[in-house]
């Protein structure tokens, strides 16, 4: 097993330090500088690890420095071959405006186990554990999915809450949800967090649905799988260029509905540190010459942990 506890602890350091690198940019309306600061720390730290890593989910598909691009090799080459998904700042708008929900995210799996996704949109549905996977289908109507979910979870429709990105493209879904009298939790960005809210009853979200970034979908799936939750996705390839890029990544069926086990094949680690306060964890606090960070880690079944760290300011 390549995904050792030692690696896990190193990843916590990496997302923590990448988040700290963003601290000076919180509320400064500097999306690009914040992203660059987190990305530089993430790249430099990953390159020091004893791994033979490759970015399969990144920012861009070519060498578009300063972004960690898909195909970029990471690590010192002396260790296990790993697939890495990076999202140095999930919620750049949140950092820029000092709004809740920004975080630094990494997901890691053994080579070949993490789906390499192009930067296109993805239709997504996530829901919690202990429910049959087949109650929800991306081709069902919203009503069918919600009614199936209500029946399987023994709840009334007006007791359900659906989380969805507030976007014009979701107008039809939102109308359906209103007609069904389902509660809606809107998010403005950050649909990795949105999807993860189905993982625990304390977040009071039953289903996450809608169209968001494909890479964010794969990253959310990495976390949801370790927590035994359900995730279904279908990439949306609109333009010829989208299709070309997908083909280059080995995708031939452009309408395929992906199950979580196809997106994440084996075991994975998901590691995210809060930059600003969010539903999943608190953001960075600077106090008495130290930064205090909170990181969420999911690793194998039943391992979900909130790790608090303090890092001296040097
Ligand atoms: C979501 C969200 C991201 O992009 O995936 C969203 O999780 C989708 O794109 O935080 P649009 O903004 O174009 O709708 C982000 O907001 C930014 O990557």
Domains 5-113+268-312 and 121-263 alike in fold: no
Whether 194 lines ligand 1, by a CB cut-off of 6 Å, is no
Whether 274 lines ligand 1, by a CB cut-off of 6 Å, is no
The per-residue pLDDT for range 273-297, each reduced to its tens digit, is 999 999 999 999 999 999 999 999 9
* Ligand 1 atom closest to 211 (CA): 8
Q: Which residues pair with 119 in a beta bridge?
A: none
Distance between CA atoms of 256 and 190, rounded to whole angstroms?
24
- For 28-47, the DSSP string reads TT-HHHHHHHHHHHHHHHHH
Beta strands in 4-153 (DSSP E): 52-57, 73-74, 81-90, 103-110, 121-127
The CATH class of the 121-263 domain is alpha beta
Distance between CA atoms of 308 and 8, rounded to whole angstroms?
14
What is the Å distance from ligand 1's center to 82 Cα? Answer: 26
Whether 88 lines ligand 1, by a CB cut-off of 6 Å, is no
Query: Which residue owns the Cα nearest ligand 1 atom 10?
Result: 190
List the chain pLDDT tens, one digit each, 314 residues. 467 888 989 999 999 999 999 999 999 999 999 999 999 999 999 999 999 999 999 987 655 556 898 899 999 999 999 999 999 999 999 999 999 999 999 999 999 999 987 889 999 999 999 899 999 999 999 999 999 999 999 999 999 999 999 999 999 999 999 999 999 999 999 999 999 999 999 999 999 999 999 999 999 999 999 999 999 999 999 889 889 888 988 899 999 999 999 999 999 999 999 999 999 999 999 999 999 999 999 887 545 678 888 888 87
Whether 101 lines ligand 1, by a CB cut-off of 6 Å, is no
- For 254-292, the DSSP string reads TTPPEEHHHHB-S-EEEEEEESS--SSS---EEETTEEE
Whether 31 lines ligand 1, by a CB cut-off of 6 Å, is no
Query: Would you kindly state where each structural domain of the chain is located, as residue ranges?
Result: 5-113+268-312, 121-263
The per-residue pLDDT for range 247-263, each reduced to its tens digit, is 988 899 999 999 999 99
- Give the DSSP H/E element, type plus range, for residue 48: helix 31-48
Query: Which residue owns the Cα nearest ligand 1 atom 8?
Result: 212
Whether 215 lines ligand 1, by a CB cut-off of 6 Å, is no
Are the CB atoms for 103 and 123 separated by under 8 Å?
no
What is the Å distance from ligand 1's center to 261 Cα? Answer: 24
* Ligand 1 atom closest to 188 (CA): 16
Whether 233 lines ligand 1, by a CB cut-off of 6 Å, is no
- Tell me which CATH code domain 5-113+268-312 carries: 3.30.540.10
Quote the percentage of the chain above a pLDDT of 70. 96
Are the CB atoms for 158 and 150 separated by under 8 Å?
no
Query: Which residue owns the Cα nearest ligand 1 atom 1?
Result: 212
What is the Å distance from ligand 1's center to 169 Cα? Answer: 12
């Amino acid at each position: 097993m390549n995904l050792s506890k030692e690696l896990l602890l190193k990843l916590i350091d990496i997302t923590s330090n990448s988040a700290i690198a963003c601290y000076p940019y919180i509320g400064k309306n500097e999306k690009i500088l914040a992203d660059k600061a987190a990305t530089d720390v993430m790249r430099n730290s990953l390159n020091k690890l004893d791994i033979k890593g490759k970015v399969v989910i990144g920012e861009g598909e070519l060498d578009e420095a300063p972004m960690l691009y898909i195909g970029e090799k990471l690590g010192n080459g002396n260790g296990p071959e790993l697939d890495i998904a990076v999202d140095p700042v999930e919620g750049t708008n949140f950092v820029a405006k000092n709004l809740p929900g920004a975080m630094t995210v990494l997901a890691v799996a053994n080579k070949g186990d993490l789906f390499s996704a192009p930067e296109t949109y993805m239709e997504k549905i996530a829901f919690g554990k202990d429910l049959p996977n087949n109650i929800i289908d991306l081709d069902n109507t919203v009503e069918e999915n919600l009614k199936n979910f209500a029946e399987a979870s023994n709840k009334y429709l007006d007791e359900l809450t659906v989380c969805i990105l507030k976007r014009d493209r979701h107008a039809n879904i939102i109308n359906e949800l209103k007609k069904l009298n389902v509660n809606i939790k809107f998010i403005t960005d950050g649909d990795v967090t949105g999807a993860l809210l189905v993982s625990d009853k304390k977040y009071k979200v039953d289903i996450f649905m809608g169209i968001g970034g494909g890479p964010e979908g794969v990253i959310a799936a990495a976390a949801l799988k370790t927590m035994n939750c359900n995730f279904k996705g279908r990439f949306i390839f609109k333009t010829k260029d989208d299709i070309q890029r997908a083909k280059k990544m080995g995708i031939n069926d452009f309408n395929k509905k992906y199950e979580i086990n196809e997106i994440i094949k084996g075991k994975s680690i998901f590691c995210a540190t809060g930059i600003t306060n969010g539903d999943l964890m608190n953001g960075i606090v600077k106090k008495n010459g130290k930064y205090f960070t909170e990181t969420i880690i999911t690793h194998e079944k039943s391992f979900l942990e909130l790790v608090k760290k303090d890092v001296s300011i040097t």
